[in-house]
Chain A
């Protein structure tokens, strides 16, 4: 009954709400995108800190061994080496787990890449609690905040493998520092090759016009937000869902359009509640359109071991958590 609310211009996966929706790791899209970018531009080089297979950088490394630099476990060095390569005209993609890149090498990213205005792409894989059994040490929940605060940094959080592929190619063509956040676990493929992607554009996926609530989501949780929108519709709560794949710079127009006729805002992200997507939206709205918000995010705590789905549920980030948060918010408004 609710399918008509999906925006046709978004060209989403027609099987979006099927039980057996195809799932792929978002990082796989990165690997494919990097390979394409390497084919399109000989200046593209890849650096990886001893994780080329699990970050899917191996696809590029196999095809272009002479343009692949194995860095070993040295993320600080990796950032500054990438800066040096960019100074000579290369377009380096440097890859590791988000916990270490940008977690461990933040100062090198700030000074040698951003302050220095070098054209380096920072790829942080295995972000969020959906890393699963590895536990809290490996579940980066602070990386969006770390990157968002840096002048000159563009921050992209692809919603699925297809968007990751497009974002990677776009990052290679974009001049300047870019951070792309990836996840380990397989995620539902919600988009198609025809789904538009441009750096700096958020996209309306569901609803539009007057709605009870505007849902802003990023990463693999966009799927959960869409499911929540469908469930809310069944409860006669109308919503719009916006995929904010570029968190910096924010797509001010699309976001303000989405909240214009809404009563409340809910943000959804697999990140700490402080400093991430929710924070970015709150900063924008505080300036231009103050309104009540609820942030679905990890609430100032660390993750733990478990299956990805268990953890997403435990921290209230799934469809159920989003519906609950929306209801709570709306009840407070009454």
Chain B
């Protein structure tokens, strides 16, 4: 299995850090939106957009591209920031997040921004859509298709029944080019997931549904990469990657607190957060130098 070179890891870390900075700036301008989830998923989005995905930001409708379906649309800021940094649209446009007539709708709208595979927000439906895409691909290209379908979900949405309907279908159809990733950060709006509606043992539940399940740290690029490479190698089963993440990752003031699920930072908080990220940026560099 190919391992990520140190140089690549440093590159992805820097991109993740830049994505985090953009998220905070965009949320500050917007005055509303979600902070914890987008920051927690910045590493995975950096990995996907700058390493794993077969895509072309200058040709977003390229038919041979992999498909990335974001089910938990409320973490749109990290998707938008990753897309902007990858070159889908100008980084400056991130400041229009959630504003009237902006292409960056509060929750993603496929028709407004080229490069979005679907419109999402209401939880529980993204995996189904990715399954549908993979099924269509299976009809057209058979079991040897090398196109990958990534479905990104929150942990809270595992409470939705539809997720498990989709899980059963994907397993029956042996969709081995379907890779689902759960952002396991243990928070949702009303509190910690295990208080609101316990989800563990999540791994065993998915295994019981005949999925290949891999647990990773959502902040360790080598770990994430090994899981995705393994997923691509598995035959006859869809793969679920449970990515353990720290909500608010990168800004100690926000980390691990469910209160940051659905609110943006104030100006003072944003200034402190950006300063933290700058020093983190320095740390990433010094660690690798």
Interface residue ranges, A against B (CB under 8 Å): 45, 66-67, 69, 71-72, 74, 76-77, 79-90, 92, 107-108, 111-112, 115-117
Contact = CB atoms under 8 A, between A and B. Distances in A.
B193 interface: no
B207 interface: no
A79 B165 CA distance: 11
Contact of B118 (A66, A83, A89): A83
Given A83-B129, A85-B136, A108 B118 contact: no
B169 A81 contact: yes
Contacts of B137: 88
30 contacts: A45-B139, A72-B169, A74-B169, A76-B128, A77-B162, A77-B165, A77-B166, A80-B125, A80-B126, A80-B128, A80-B132, A81-B166, A83-B125, A83-B129, A84-B118, A84-B128, A84-B129, A84-B130, A84-B131, A85-B132, A85-B135, A87-B118, A88-B132, A89-B136, A108-B128, A108-B162, A111-B119, A112-B118, A112-B129, A115-B119
Given A66-B139, A69-B135, A89-B136, A116 B118 contact: yes
Given A45-B139, A67-B139, A116-B110, A80 B119 contact: no
Given A107-B122, A111-B119, A112-B118, A81 B139 contact: no
Contacts of B130: 84
Nearest to A69: B135
Given A81-B166, A83-B128, A90-B136, 6 more contacts: A45-B136, A74-B162, A83-B125, A84-B129, A84-B134, A87-B117
Nearest to B133: A84
Given A87-B117, A107-B122, A112-B125, A80 B162 contact: yes
Contacts of B140: 88
Given A88-B136, A117-B110, A81 B129 contact: yes
Interface string B66-91: 01010000000000000000000000
A87 B129 contact: yes
A111 to B, nearest CB: 5
Interface residues of B, number: 32
B131 A76 contact: no
B121 interface: yes
Nearest to B128: A80
A25 B121 CA distance: 39
B113 to A, nearest CB: 13
Contacts of A116: 110-111, 118-119
A107 B139 CA distance: 27
B96 interface: no
A111 B165 CA distance: 18
A101 to B, nearest CB: 13
A67 B136 CA distance: 9
B136 A84 contact: yes
Contact of A83 (B121, B132, B165): B132
Interface in B165-194: 165-166, 168-169
Contacts of A89: 136
B109 interface: yes
A112 B118 CA distance: 8
List the 8 closest pairs (A to B, CB-CB), nearest first.
Answer: A84-B132, A80-B128, A77-B165, A88-B136, A74-B165, A84-B129, A81-B132, A85-B132
Contacts of A88: 132-133, 136-137, 140
A260 to B, nearest CB: 39
A72 to B, nearest CB: 7
A107 to B, nearest CB: 6
Nearest to A80: B128
A188 to B, nearest CB: 38
A84 B71 CA distance: 12
Contacts of A82: 132
Contact of A81 (B110, B117, B124, B131): B131
B161 interface: yes
A87 B128 CA distance: 12
A76 B161 CA distance: 9
A66 B67 CA distance: 22
B70 to A, nearest CB: 13
Query: Which of A76, A79, A80, A108 has the most B CB atoms < 10 Å from its CB?
Result: A80
Nearest to A66: B139
B133 to A, nearest CB: 4
Contacts of B129: 80-81, 83-84, 87, 112
Query: Which of A69, A86, A88, A90 has the most B CB atoms < 10 Å from its CB?
Result: A88
Contacts of A80: 125-126, 128-129, 132, 162, 166
A77 B129 CA distance: 8
Contacts of A90: 136, 139
Contacts of B125: 76, 80, 83, 108, 111-112
